[in-house]
Amino acid sequence: MSTTEAPPANGRHSMGQPMKRKEDARFIAGKGRYIDDIVLPNMLYLAIVHSDYPHAKITKIDKDAALKIPGVLAVITADDLAGVGLAWIPTFHGYDKQMVLAVGKVLYQYQEVAAVVATSRAAAADGVEAVVVEYEQLTPVVDPFTAKTDKTLVREDRENKTNHIYHWEVGKRAETDAAIAASDVKINERVYFQRCHPAPLEPCGCVADMNPATGTLTLYMTSQAPHAHRTVVSLVTGIPEDKIHVISPDIGGGFGNKVPVYAGYVCSAVASIVTGHPIKWIETRTENLTTTGFARDYTMDVEIGATKDGKVTALKVTTHADHGAFDAAADPTKYPAGMFGICTGSYDFPVAFTELDAYFTNKAPGGVAYRCSFRVTEASYAIERGMDLLANALGMDPADVRMKNFVRKDQFPYPSPLGFVYDSGDYHTTLQKALDKVGYKELRKEQAEKRARGELMGIGISTFTEVVGAGPSKHFDIMGIKMFDSAEIRIHPTGSGIVRAGTKSQGQGHETTWAQIVAEELGLDPQNLLVEEGDTDTAPYGLGTYASRSTPVAGAALAMAARRVREKARNIAAHVMEAPLDDVEWVDYKFQVKGVPSKTVTMKEIAFAAYTNPGPNEPGLEATYYYDPPNLTFPYGAYIAVVDVDKDTGETKVRRFLAIDDCGTVINPMIVEGQIHGGLTEGFAIAFMQEIAYDAEGNNLQPNFTEYLIPTSLESPHWETDSTCNPSPHHPIGAKGVGESPNVGSPAAFVNAVMDALSPLGIKNIDMPLTRSKVWSAIQEATKA
Amino acid sequence: MKVSLKVNGADYERDVEPRVLLAYFLREDLGLTGTHVGCDTSSCGCCVVLMDGEKAVKSCTMFAVMADGHEITTIEGMKKDGKLHPMQQAFSDQHGLQCGYCTPGMMATAIAFLKHNPDPSEAEIRDALSGNMCRCTGYNNIVKAVQQAAAELSAPAAEPVAAS
């Protein structure tokens, strides 16, 4: 009774192996099943009428012409939704409500005003064109500073007649102010992290299918959080949760965009309930960019104090947040500004304070998406830009300033001044590895030579700390639902099995990595462990995949469920090997009788025994585990960008980019590297190309991919990656999560590099995106005197 | 309007509305859902298919009727004799895909490109793929996949090996 499998290269069964992805087979063959691939009998189509104006009273909606179009069956407005109690729905954290279709007035350009139901996609589109909406324009409010004056009210429906949504603060204000005032050197700079959009290549969509016979509403939808959506649908409609079946099929990228609830989902569900037909709604790209979950839009005043030899004394960050027309940021309930308190970053500040005021404006709602753990990207940008501005003020090298102020390895677990307890890290070693690998000294030498010739070369560093894995139930919930996650494992008699989790992959490769985690714990073949997610009737309850929470939370649940299976298997092994339970050990991925290496039994053999010869044990081999994390995890990294800026055109060429990431234990290095490449490319896009800007009249200026730019292979730099590994001490397998790190850490590295290049001209800050024209204008301005 | 065309080796004759785009004709009339649509402006390249074996076309920029008399190859038609096309194999081997949404269009573009330039440099590959967007991979591994496929496609055909 022994296994003949060859040991893998790293001595581990499957953990840490660059296993090729199991999900690829269908994707490379064109056999993925995305939302628009789902076609049901007698299906109807829904399309949406959008507002032309950013802020206007609706004086009339004329459906007549639309209803005369062959194939158009109905035009739904807010009045119709009011009839079923769905004109408004609660926002995710429950502190605000949002219109499904415009009620009385429109609050942002492209807002959903009416929905057309028709027998074909084309007829629905024709119907949209024929709906006539009359408006009376109002003054739009397009930034938080104008909003603050309350001259024009965005939300007359609210009890409090103000555009101010909330004030949030954490830390010690008086001590921080005093410490900064007393510092030898201080910086105070306003940086703006622009509004941008995750723009997954697959837009959002759904097929809502009410079965009139059973009363069951099946919702196929692009959902990063199917269970949460099921519960929300039940709470707002009153349909019992057992009669709601959410199925999230293959998702063509999410990046946080597919967390919120959108008008199209609600209108489709209502239309299906009323008509008894399945209803399909597929968003256009313009709808995606103009109405669904955007990201950032934080204006941050960053103040840092330091001694003259470069030791930081205090940090203060003051933020104006633009939330758009509804407070629909999908933040955990107790964290209105998400994880923004991570803004002390990787540095040991003796004292810190941050405060934030959020405002309504006539812009689309949303606010936490785009590969970001609830505002950690804004916070990281603030501190990493701040550290470079400080280095500049001190006349010190930015690497030296960071080394001087890092939290030391011996300080972990490190209680940060704004309330987090960092789990593990060794920032000095990781940055040193990056400096050595990139050839930092040589690059600085080259830069000095180039500067002497008047050429603009820059080197930018970002040594960020992330906070992910929401979250511990004592702090984290969404609408009261605790943010744990779950796993269920069933091992079949022949040693294969099915693994289900409350998460939902959108490209992250869970079908592979979840199998690797379970295979590692059980000594089974990951190829024969089927992973299934996204079906609320079969998967255990979980809060879904976003905010880099899958591996820290569900990954832990998987390992713990597998350990439950293993413990049960150990009992069966004792019976099979006729040994006392205390003498049965798990050694080298097999059960062995203590001290008798020849007496072993494999998990595969125990799986068969569980169904054929369990002895006194309960038959079967399954387990479920709900994991409530004891703490968040704190992945970190050291990134270095090297750029050349063309003085005459303002064009930046990213010559090199090195990312050293530390995400703790790595499950699949190939997948981790792929995640980092993707996140860096998104960070690059934000730094140089992307902004959802509105003009003074409230017009959205980037409503499609010809304006909102996505980098292609031509623009994207070649990425260099490497890692260090400081496992999380509180996670069952030591993993921290990685998906968002590259997007969190890289924007500051790019901007720091460009500002470093421009520093001989005295330019301190340009807000992203660093387009050619912006950089060129700044150079012109700086050199004209 | 009548349209006659060959798709993945099979002949079709259909009556379609003149305004139907080739992408939707393939997806909805023929059920070939491997061709994806990701934008409204012919920017993203998710819908690229092969026309007449060697030309990469964005099937959202063509009406179905414009494909009359032509031969279209979609992702579903790339396997030959039950074996993956070297480009399909390479994308999986090199982790050149994550969510998979851009993958069919990306591969179609790359296959057409290698027919015209069988031994490209990295810069040439990056240039050739610049009409196809990917949000997940950051392109490093897509470039590697195209290089692997190029090497395989230009290698001399292997001698048939007897089954052992």
Q: Which of B40, B44, B100 sits opposite A286 (nearest CB)?
A: B40
DSSP string, A460-489: EEE--B--BS---TTT-EETTEE--EEEEE
pLDDT tens-digit series, residues A105-135: 999 999 999 999 999 999 999 999 999 999 9
From A372, A384, A500, A605, the catalytic residue:
A372
CB contacts of A682 in chain B (<8 Å) are 135
| Cβ-defined contact of A21 to B92 (cutoff 8 Å) | yes
Q: Cβ of B98 under 8 Å from any chain A Cβ? A: yes
Report helix angle A398-405 to A376-394, nearest 10.
110
CB contacts of B140 in chain A (<8 Å) are 677, 718-719
Residue A7: per-residue pLDDT: 44
> Class for domain A372-468+633-783, per CATH?
alpha beta
Q: Which of B98, B130, B140 sits opposite A714 (nearest CB)?
A: B130
pLDDT band at B161 (very low <50, low <70, confident <90, very high): low
Among A546, A565, A541, A557, smallest CA distance to A487 is for A557
C-beta neighbour count of A57 within 10 angstroms: 14
A233-240, long-range: CB < 8 A, 24+ apart: A233/A269, A235/A90, A235/A479, A236/A86, A236/A89, A236/A90, A237/A85, A237/A86, A237/A269, A238/A85
Question: In what side-by-side order are the strands of the sheet with A622-627?
Answer: A529-532, A497-501, A485-491, A622-627
Q: HSE (CB half, 13 Å, CA atoms) of A201?
A: 34
Domains A24-32+485-627 and A372-468+633-783 are alike in CATH topology: yes
Asked if B38 and A252 touch (Cβ cutoff 8 Å), the reply is: yes
CB contacts of B125 in chain A (<8 Å) are 713
Which residues on neighbouring strands pair with residue A195, listed in sequence order?
A: none
pLDDT tens-digit series, residues B31-53: 999 999 999 999 999 999 999 99
Residue A368: per-residue pLDDT: 76
Average pLDDT of the segment spanning A592-611: 97
The type of residue at A104 is G
Q: d(Cα A446, Cα A457) in Å, to the nearest integer?
A: 9
CB contacts of A719 in chain B (<8 Å) are 138, 140
Q: What is the dihedral of CA A686, A689, A695, A701, to 10 degrees?
A: -110
State how far Cα A720 lies from the chain centre.
23
Report helix angle A556-577 to A603-612, nearest 10.
70
Average pLDDT of the segment spanning A515-523: 98
pLDDT band at B157 (very low <50, low <70, confident <90, very high): low
pLDDT tens-digit series, residues B72-124: 999 999 998 999 999 999 999 999 999 999 999 999 999 999 999 999 999 99
Annotated catalytic, A740? yes
Rounded to two decimals, the pTM is: 0.97
**What CATH architecture applies to the domain B2-77?**
Roll (3.10)
User: How would you class A754 by CB atoms within 10 Å of its CB: exposed for 0-12, middle for 13-18, buried for 19 or more?
Assistant: buried
Asked if A526 and A24 touch (Cβ cutoff 8 Å), the reply is: no
ipTM: 0.96
pLDDT band at B160 (very low <50, low <70, confident <90, very high): low
Give the helix/strand (H/E) hosting B152.
helix B140-154
Residue A9: per-residue pLDDT: 58
Asked if A654 and A684 touch (Cβ cutoff 8 Å), the reply is: yes
Q: What is the mean pLDDT of chain A?
A: 96
Question: CATH assignment of A35-138+203-251+258-291?
Answer: 3.90.1170.50
CA distance A703 to chain B (A): 10
CA-to-CA dists, residue A722 to A161, A429, A533, A643, angstroms:
52, 13, 30, 20
CA distance A208 to chain B (A): 19
pLDDT band at A6 (very low <50, low <70, confident <90, very high): very low
pLDDT band at A2 (very low <50, low <70, confident <90, very high): very low
Paired tokens of B125? 């590959």
**Residue recorded with tokens 């960050």:** A317
Q: d(Cα A590, Cα A180) in Å, to the nearest integer?
A: 60
Q: d(Cα A363, Cα A723) in Å, to the nearest integer?
A: 40
The C-alpha angle A298, B41, A120, rounded to 5 degrees, equals 105
Q: Look at the domain B86-153 and name its fold.
A: DNA polymerase; domain 1 (1.10.150)
Domain ranges of chain B: 2-77, 86-153
* Statement: residue A307 has pLDDT above 60: yes
Residue A4: per-residue pLDDT: 37
Q: Closest-CA residue in chain A for B36?
A: A202
- The 3-state DSSP composition of chain A as helix, strand, coil percent (nearest 5) reads 30, 25, 45
Average pLDDT of the segment spanning A503-525: 98
Residue B76: per-residue pLDDT: 98
Residues in chain B: 164
Average pLDDT of the segment spanning A74-84: 97
From A155, A230, A296, A371, the catalytic residue:
A371
CATH number among 3.30.365.10, 3.40.640.10, 2.40.30.170, 1.10.10.10, domain A24-32+485-627: 3.30.365.10
Domain ranges of chain A: 24-32+485-627, 35-138+203-251+258-291, 372-468+633-783
Q: Which of A32, A36, A678 sits opposite B138 (nearest CB)?
A: A678
Residues in chain A: 785
Q: Which residues contact B163 (CB under 8 A, 6 or more apart)?
A: none
